[in-house]
Amino acid sequence: MSSKSFKATRFSPSSAKHVEDHLAVEAVLQLKLNGISYTTTVRTPGADEALARGLLFTEGVLVDTTVIPEYHHVPDHDAGHTGCLEITVPEKSLAKDVTGRRSAMVNASCGLCGIREPEELHMTGAPITTHPKQRLHIDAIQELTQCLAIHQPLFQATGGVHGALAFGSDGTVLSAHEDIGRHNAVDKVIGDLIQQGRLQDGIGIVVSGRASYEIVFKAYQAQWPYILSVSAPSSLAVEMGEHFGMCIVGFCRENRATVYSRPELVKFE
């Protein structure tokens, strides 16, 4: 259940009308890893396993994409969906000790709430050096942005969720997901491709909202050099894009786009 119906009163300059409106569901999901509470996040229910797999990958906890976790869904009977997802993996496969990490609740607008130390902001890393042989054409950027809109049925119904879409070197859509949180949508896409064994087929991601630095780092973890956003990037996102050798493109809408970093990776003719 990704949306719920609510009675409301819609006002206009000349009238007040009783309506039934559909709103995106915002629900709590606790993630436990090998019996330890890793984090509690707020998300739109659906693709919870992909969300968890993507989150653990982008946070550097379970970076081995060949590891297939076991999942146990603990239902929230009152809400009608999963309330806790218990994840089991071999301890030797974990790249980080998760004891005492990410204990705070992560809300829908912040994928990094609950971190404890500044170094957990992932400000270092080697630049991406394996770029696609063929540069992304500016026309393809517009087409991919339009594809994202097509893959956002929940947004069309509610107007209250974000979307993320991963694409390959030929412009093929590899995965698309929606969520009330931008970072959750990105994690769902990355987790989905890990589950499919196709993470390496991607070269970039399109996001419906602004391109924050955390989204840049998630794409960096996947080694995708392109980030396309229908809105603006943040200053830190652009600075990280420059550092990591990534092409950050903002305002991809209405047949226009602004390239903020690595413009040589975009073909204009």
Cα–Cα distance between 47 and 259 in angstroms, integer?
Answer: 32
Q: What are phi and psi of 264, to 5 degrees?
A: -65, -15
Is the separation of the CB atoms in 248 and 211 below 8 Å? yes
Is the separation of the CB atoms in 179 and 162 below 8 Å? yes
Cα–Cα distance between 182 and 110 in angstroms, integer?
Answer: 9
Is the separation of the CB atoms in 104 and 113 below 8 Å? yes
Q: How many CB atoms lie within 10 A of CB 119?
A: 9
Residues taking part in catalysis: 110
Cα–Cα distance between 25 and 62 in angstroms, integer?
Answer: 28
